[in-house]
Structures are given as structure tokens and as C-alpha cells.
Amino acid sequence: MVQMRTMEVMVGAFMAAGFVALFFLAMQVSNLSSLAGGDGYQVTARFDNIGGLKVRSPVAMAGVRIGRVAGISFDNTTYEAIVTMQIDSSYNTIPDDTFAKIYTAGLLGEQYIGLDPGGSEEYLTDGGKISLTQSALVLEEIIGQFLFSKAEEGGGDE
Amino acid sequence: MEPLARLGRIGIASLERLGRGHLLLLHIFSGITDLITRPRLLIAQLHSVGVLSMLIITVSGLFVGMVLGLQGFYILSQFGAEETLGVMVAASLVRELGPVVTALLFAGRAGSALTAEIGLMKATEQLSGLEMMAVDPIKRILTPRFMAGLLSMPLLAAIFSAIGVIGGHFVGVGLLGVDEGAYWSQMQAKIDLHEDIYNGVIKSIVFGFVCTWIALFQGHDCVPTSEGVSRATTRTVVHSALAILCLDFVLTALMFGE
Amino acid sequence: MSPQPDDSNEPLVKIRGLRFYRGERAIFDGVDIDIPRRLITAIMGPSGTGKTTLLKLIGGQLRPDAGTVHVDGQDVHKLNNKDLYRLRMRMGMLFQSGALLTDISVFENVAYPLREHTRLPESIIRKLVLMKLEAVGLRGARDLMPSELSGGMARRAALARAIVLDPKMIMYDEPFTGQDPISMGVLVQLIPRLSKASRLTSIVVSHDVAETAGIADIIYVISNGKVIAGGPSEQVANSDSPWVRQFMDGLADGPVPFHFPAPPLEADILENATQPPADAGATL
């Protein structure tokens, strides 16, 4: 029969190991560190077509992730998509004439918003709007355009 | 006529067992307040149920993680997506394999041990003896074991998943050449604290609840002979396994659907 | 209802009209028993007549289908949980196998009720436990584990545990069954000694006629769910009733037949017997 003292020590070690494992999972495995920067500011942009963009998709500038898509909604009058982005507070020098474009990561990857900085002296703050946007590339439209231009070429030659 | 009557009898007997099981659960809960004044009992059970399961959980976690690393690499490299090995290993472990495999191993090791112990106490009249000494055997014997199982399971599942991720790292990065930075960074980008880790913990708590309940009930309800105890032990493992897999499906559908 | 005073002359246990069924079988079919205080009452009968069940009914572990059981003036099955537990602290029970807790030592087993129900300091607990162990002759074995004890020693340790709270009565469930002559001798001596020393009421359930009849003051014989004899031990031991005589004298055949009911022997053995002989149905 194991002595009480030894037993208590082992149980303590067991529980400590369990908590360390949970901690490890939370810190090293999950996206906790990026969630921690929860205080940031919100910026909106309007797109004609957001393609496959989802809430929590990344927002990047020069390839560096600076925030996430916080919400996506639809404007009933202008039929545009309104994307709300949560930008980390440490990135507060984004000019207000920045260009927002929807890119695709890799060939089949998920979509994200890439920001190209403009030259304005005024910076975006909480509630700011990005007015220069370009929608996502939709595969069918590209193919359609290609076929159309090919058909035109062919027709022009005659 | 006779088969119908048999079916009816089986149905009624099953309902009776279900009822007894729930009554036992309520009785176990009523002992929780007593347990707070007797932490020694809980510690002894945490040792018996949790600490003694560590070996099998750690070894299994390591090997499962390594197999995931191996298999994952071969499959992902067909798509040129080896970098996402970290995500694959971590997601499989944290969401599914950690809670489920831990629960199955727990049912086999700790669950059957609990059933055998309680069944034997019933067969040797120790439970009756406690009753006649004016000590409630449910509160004194079953409640500490229940709380120990409930608390141990999420910790064991976390240890399983963590060691599995490390095992996957060892095979993927160490042996097969996946980029170390990619392994961790992709994982950190894609595995969500709330959706994946919390849900995994919730799953393991649910499994701990159900497995320990089944183990204690089978032991307490068994026929008090040696054959009865051995049958009860088998039932614990089988019923626990079925319950775990069923609940896993239900919980996964609830948690991970869009 | 509060317990009766110690020197009352009322029987400690009063059983009236007890009926208890297991499935279709009547274990008890209208049983009246009085257990007087401070005496040793034996309850005897063939195996399987539910003697252990009777003890469980008295202790409140089982509920009767009809009838009442009063212990110390209180109706056992009408008590709430708290009062039932308090009543049980005044009863000691010695199980057939001892029922010691297997993961703690003999000392800890005997100390268990004290630790549970009293707040006595450790030094007093130690003295009490050692005294009770001394009474059963096991003081030197106090640090052994139950798995290291022989059957007889385990029972003595369980007896020490049963008396540690100084109960008013002790129930012995088949104390002599399967014991070697020496252990039997020890118990035969201990039971009356404890009974007199602590003014205990003892109920001994057994089918060992010789030993039990030797120490009992009152004997009840139960068969087929009914009391077939009950009274002072000499009276019962010399009773004329064929049932009692068969039991007490250990006769192979009598009111309880040797042959389990079966068709006649010729019909079973002779495979080409076409019809059973005229006297089919005789069982002797």
C-alpha cells in the first residue's frame, strides 16, 4: 500500500502535468497568442464581390498579418459587401488612402485581404473606412473574359 | 407469443437498470458535500485512477502522435502540402483522438479496475458491512471515485494530445524533414483556442462523466459472485466504448458543424 | 419514538406478521419473533430458509412485504435515514465472512466506527481499540492486513469492530460455519462472555445445532417460512415435533425428505418402460 505522503506527491505531479499539457496546448498549439492582442481598432471596407472571404480570415500588409476579418455584412441599397476588419493596435500608421484587395493564398488556399499602403498623411483610426477596394477574382469570370476576348480576336481577324 | 413476452421482459429489465443507474448517480452526487470534508479520499482515488493511468496514456499518446506524423506526411506530400503536417497532427489529436482514445484507454484500464473493486466489495459484503456500521457506502466509496474520474479525464486527454503533438514533431520535423517553423506556425494559425481546445476539453469531461458512471454502476449492480464480477467488468468496457463513440459523434456534430 | 431505557423488560426486537417474498417464493410467511434483552437468542433452520435475510430485515437493509419489525421500540422501516443510521450505531453485526475493509489494517478496521462517528482524540481511540482487540484475543495482530488473517481471526477482528461502539445488540450471521474446532471453541466461549460482560442482547443465526444450542438461552426454529418452534432452549431441544427433532438430531430423512421430488426410479432407469407403475407419486 502506497504511503499517503507519496500518494499526495504523485497526485500533485499528475495534476501539474495535466495543467502543463493544457497550457502547452493553449500556448504552443493554438492561436492564443494572436487572440491576446484583442484590443485593436476596427476599419470597414466595401467590396463588390468578396469571393470566399470568411470571418476570421487574415488581413495582411506586405505579407505580414496585422489583423482579422471581424464581420461581413451586406448593404441592401448599394448591393455591396461590407467587411469589418479588426486591426491590431500596434499597427496604427496605415494611411487612409490604402488599397484593400482580396487575394488567394496559394492556388487553392483560403482568401485574405491584402492592404497596399497609400501616401496620405492621415492614418486610419477606429471606425475608419477604406474606400479604395478591389474585389476577389472569381474563376468563372476570368475564364469568361478569356473566352470572350479570344472570340473577339477571332472575329476581328476576319 | 413467447418471443414477444421475452422482448417485453428485456425492455422492462433494461428500463429498470437505467432507472437504477440514474438513482445511483443522484446518490453519488449527494455525497459530494461530504467529500469536501474528506480530501484524503479524493486524493487516494486520484492516485488510483489518474496517476496509475499516466503510463499507458503517455506511451499511447506518443505513438499515436508519431503515427499521425508518419501517415500525415505521406498523404500530404502527395499534394505538396507537407508544411501543414502540424495542423493535421494537432487538429486530429485535440479535436478527436485525444479525448476519444484517452477515454477508451481509461475505460479499459481504470474503468474495469473500478468495476472489479466495487463488485468485489459487494461480493465480500464490505458494502453491507459499512451500511451496518452506519456509514453510507455510496457516499464513502463511490463518490470519491466518481469525482476522481471526472477530474482525471480532461487532464489525461490534455497530456495525450500534448505528447502526441510532440511525437508528431519528432517524426515530422526530426525524421522526415518538415520545416520546424512551418510545423508550429501553421498549427498556431489554424488551431483555435475556443473551437478546438475548449471543445476537446468539454468532450473529455463528458466522457469522464459517462465512463466513470458506467464503471461504478456496473460494479455496484453486479451479481455478487466471481462470475458476476467478471461479467460486470466486461460490460463496463463494452458499454463505455459504445457510449464514448456515440457521444463523440453527437458532440462533434454539435460543436464542429457550421 | 425514542429508544427505551436499558433495564426495560420489553423484548429488544419484536417481529410481528413478517412476510417477505423473493420472486414467487415466500421466504417468510407470517413470522412472529420476540428477542428478549440481554439474552442469547438463536435462530436456526435448514439452509436457504432466509436466516441472513432476517438479519438484514432487522437491520433495515431490506424492506418486508408485510408485517413490522420493532427494535428498541422503534419501527425500523418507518425511520428516516438519519434515525436509521443512529439506530444502526446501537447494533453490531458480524458477517459470515467478517467483511473487513481489505485495504486497511486490523487496527484501522476496528477504529473505523470510532473515527466515523465520534470525535474522540487519537489516544483514546487507540486505547479503546486495543481493549476491544484484547477482548477477542487479537491485540498482537493489530498491524496485520485482513488478507494475512485466517478465517477465524478475521471473524474475531470483525467482532472487535462490531463491539467497539458498545452497541446494545449484536447479530451473528452463521458464526460457526466452516470453522476448525479450535476457532469454534474460541467463538463458543467469546459470545456468552461478551454477552454477559456488556449486558448485550445477542442474536445468533446458525445451522450448527450443537454449538448454538449449547450457548443459546432462547431458540427459534424456522422452516418453510414459518416458525415451527420457539422458546427456552431446553424446551425446544427436547421438543416432540418431528420437524424439530429431524433438525436438532440431524436425521437424513423426516418431514424434510431425503429424496427431492422425482418420478419413480423404475420409470427413470428403464428406458423401455411404457407406462409409470400404479404408485407413481410416492417420493420415498
What's the full length of chain C, in residues? Answer: 284
Same domain, C121 and C73: no
Could you tell me if residue C267 is inside a domain? no
User: Can you name the residues that pair with A43 across neighbouring β-strands?
Assistant: A85, A128
Quick check: C282 pLDDT over 60? no
On average, the pLDDT of chain B sits at 90
Looking at CA atoms only, how far is residue C234 from chain B in angstroms?
32
Torsion over CA of C118, C122, C125 and C131, rounded to 10 degrees?
-170
Q: How confident is the model over B204-238, as pLDDT tens digits?
A: 999 999 999 999 999 999 998 999 999 999 999 99
Same domain, C76 and C214: yes
Cell numbers for A120: 496620405
- For C14-26, what is the mean pLDDT? 84
Could you tell me if residue C207 is inside a domain? yes
Looking at CA atoms only, how far is residue B80 from chain C in angstroms?
59
Q: Which residue has the higher pLDDT, A102 or A55?
A: A102
Of C61, C96, C102, the CB nearest to B131: C61
Highest mean pLDDT among A27-36, B9-18, C172-181: B9-18
Quick check: A158 pLDDT over 50? no
Here the CATH number for the domain that contains residue C17 is 3.40.50.300
Torsion over CA of C3, C4, C6 and C7, rounded to 10 degrees?
-170
What is the extent of the structural domain holding C58? Answer: 8-90+168-251
Contacts of B123 in chain C (CB under 8 A): none
Q: Is A4 on the interface with B (CB under 8 A)?
A: yes
pLDDT, residue C150, reads: 86
Per-residue pLDDT band for B82 (boundaries 50, 70, 90) equals confident
Same domain, C17 and C131: no
pLDDT, residue B37, reads: 86
Q: How confident is the model over C55-93, as pLDDT tens digits?
A: 888 888 888 888 889 888 888 888 888 888 888 888 888
Q: Quick one: closest CA in B to A13, which residue? A: B51
Nearest residue to B242 via CA among B210, B202, B216: B210
| Beta carbons of B88 and C61 less than 8 angstroms apart | no
pLDDT, residue A32, reads: 61
Quick check: B13 pLDDT over 70? yes
pLDDT, residue C174, reads: 87
Q: Is A24 on the interface with B (CB under 8 A)?
A: yes
Could you tell me if residue C265 is inside a domain? no
Would you call A17 and B197 a contact, using CB atoms and an 8 Å cutoff? Answer: no
Per-residue pLDDT band for C284 (boundaries 50, 70, 90) equals very low
Quick check: C280 pLDDT over 60? no
Predicted TM-score (pTM) of the model is: 0.78
Mutation site for C-interface testing, chosen from B34, B133, B138, B145 by largest number of C Cβ within 10 Å: B133
pLDDT, residue A130, reads: 85
pLDDT, residue A36, reads: 52
Q: Is B47 on the interface with C (CB under 8 A)?
A: no
What is the identity of the amino acid at A42?
A: Q
Q: Is A26 on the interface with B (CB under 8 A)?
A: yes
Would you call B125 and C95 a contact, using CB atoms and an 8 Å cutoff? Answer: yes
Cell numbers for B193: 483556442
pLDDT, residue C206, reads: 85
**Number of A:B CB contacts under 8 A?**
88
Looking at CA atoms only, how far is residue A128 from chain B in angstroms?
27
Looking at CA atoms only, how far is residue B95 from chain A in angstroms?
12
Same domain, C29 and C158: no
Q: How far apart are CA B163 and CA B155, in angstroms?
A: 12
Q: How far apart are CA A21 and CA B62, in angstroms?
A: 13
Quick check: A134 pLDDT over 50? yes
Q: How far apart are CA C230 and CA B48, in angstroms?
A: 51
Same domain, C58 and C68: yes
Nearest residue to A30 via CA among B187, C197, C58, B131: B187
Nearest residue to C18 via CA among C43, C40, C46: C43
pLDDT, residue C283, reads: 45
Mutation site for B-interface testing, chosen from A2, A6, A25 by largest number of B Cβ within 10 Å: A25
- For B91-118, what is the mean pLDDT? 93
Contacts of A8 in chain B (CB under 8 A): 43
Per-residue pLDDT band for C276 (boundaries 50, 70, 90) equals low
Q: Select from C112, C131, C166 the last residue of a domain.
A: C166
- For B30-51, what is the mean pLDDT? 89
Mutation site for B-interface testing, chosen from C53, C55, C116 by largest number of B Cβ within 10 Å: C116
Of B126, B132, B135, the CB nearest to C59: B132
Q: Is A35 on the interface with B (CB under 8 A)?
A: yes
**Number of B:C CB contacts under 8 A?**
48
Would you call B125 and C85 a contact, using CB atoms and an 8 Å cutoff? Answer: no
Q: How confident is the model over C93-127, as pLDDT tens digits?
A: 888 877 888 888 999 999 999 988 888 999 999 99
Q: Is B133 on the interface with C (CB under 8 A)?
A: yes
Could you tell me if residue C49 is inside a domain? yes
On average, the pLDDT of chain A sits at 81
Q: Quick one: closest CA in B to C113, which residue? A: B133
Same domain, C154 and C173: no
Same domain, C107 and C120: yes
Cell numbers for C41: 437468542
Same domain, C241 and C174: yes
Q: What does the angle CA A141 – CA A145 – CA A150 come to, to the nearest 5 degrees?
A: 150
Per-residue pLDDT band for C274 (boundaries 50, 70, 90) equals low
Lowest mean per-residue pLDDT among A8-22, A132-146, C191-205: A132-146
Mutation site for B-interface testing, chosen from C93, C104, C117, C132 by largest number of B Cβ within 10 Å: C93
| Beta carbons of B45 and B141 less than 8 angstroms apart | no
Contacts of B39 in chain A (CB under 8 A): none
Could you tell me if residue C96 is inside a domain? no
Q: At what angle do helices C181-197 and C151-163 cross, to 10 degrees?
A: 10
Q: How confident is the model over B110-122, as pLDDT tens digits?
A: 999 999 999 999 9
Domain count, chain C: 2
Looking at CA atoms only, how far is residue B44 from chain A in angstroms?
7
For C22, the enclosing helix (H) or strand (E) is strand C13-22
For A119, list phi and psi in degrees, rounded to 5. -120, 5
Same domain, C21 and C156: no
Would you call B133 and C116 a contact, using CB atoms and an 8 Å cutoff? Answer: yes
Same domain, C196 and C240: yes
pLDDT, residue B58, reads: 94
pLDDT, residue C48, reads: 66
DSSP result, chain A: ---HHHHHHHHHHHHHHHHHHHHHIIIIISSHHHHH---EEEEEEEES--TT--TT-EEEETTEEEEEEEEEEE-TTT--EEEEEEEETT----BTT-EEEEEESTTT--EEEEEE----SSBP-TTEEE-EEEPPPPHHHHHHHHHHHHHHHHHHH-
Task: Compute the Cα dihedral for C90, C93, C99, C104 and give only its sign.
Answer: positive
Q: How far apart are CA A100 and CA A61, in angstroms?
A: 10
- For A92-107, what is the mean pLDDT? 82
Quick check: A1 pLDDT over 50? no
CA C161 to chain centre: 17
Chain C residues with at least one Cβ partner in B under 8 Å: 56, 59, 61, 85-86, 88-89, 91-93, 95-97, 99-102, 112-113, 116-117, 158, 161
pLDDT, residue B148, reads: 94
Would you call B162 and A21 a contact, using CB atoms and an 8 Å cutoff? Answer: yes
Residue A152 CB partners (closer than 8 Å, separation 6+)? none
Domain boundaries, chain B: 2-256
pLDDT, residue B257, reads: 65
| Beta carbons of A57 and A47 less than 8 angstroms apart | no
Looking at CA atoms only, how far is residue C97 from chain B in angstroms?
7
User: Can you name the residues that pair with A45 across neighbouring β-strands?
Assistant: A83, A130
- For B1-13, what is the mean pLDDT? 89
Same domain, C118 and C184: no
Q: Is B23 helix (H, G, I), strand (E, B) or coil?
A: helix
pLDDT, residue C6, reads: 62
Would you call C99 and B126 a contact, using CB atoms and an 8 Å cutoff? Answer: yes
On average, the pLDDT of chain C sits at 83
Q: How far apart are CA C187 and CA C175, in angstroms?
A: 8
Looking at CA atoms only, how far is residue B159 from chain A in angstroms?
5
Contacts of C52 in chain B (CB under 8 A): none
Q: How far apart are CA B72 and CA B79, in angstroms?
A: 11
Could you tell me if residue C97 is inside a domain? no
Quick check: A2 pLDDT over 60? no
Quick check: C242 pLDDT over 80? no
- For A50-62, what is the mean pLDDT? 82
Would you call A14 and B44 a contact, using CB atoms and an 8 Å cutoff? Answer: no
Same domain, C80 and C219: yes
Would you call B196 and A4 a contact, using CB atoms and an 8 Å cutoff? Answer: no
- For C131-153, what is the mean pLDDT? 88
pLDDT, residue B157, reads: 94
C4 DSSP 8-state letter: P
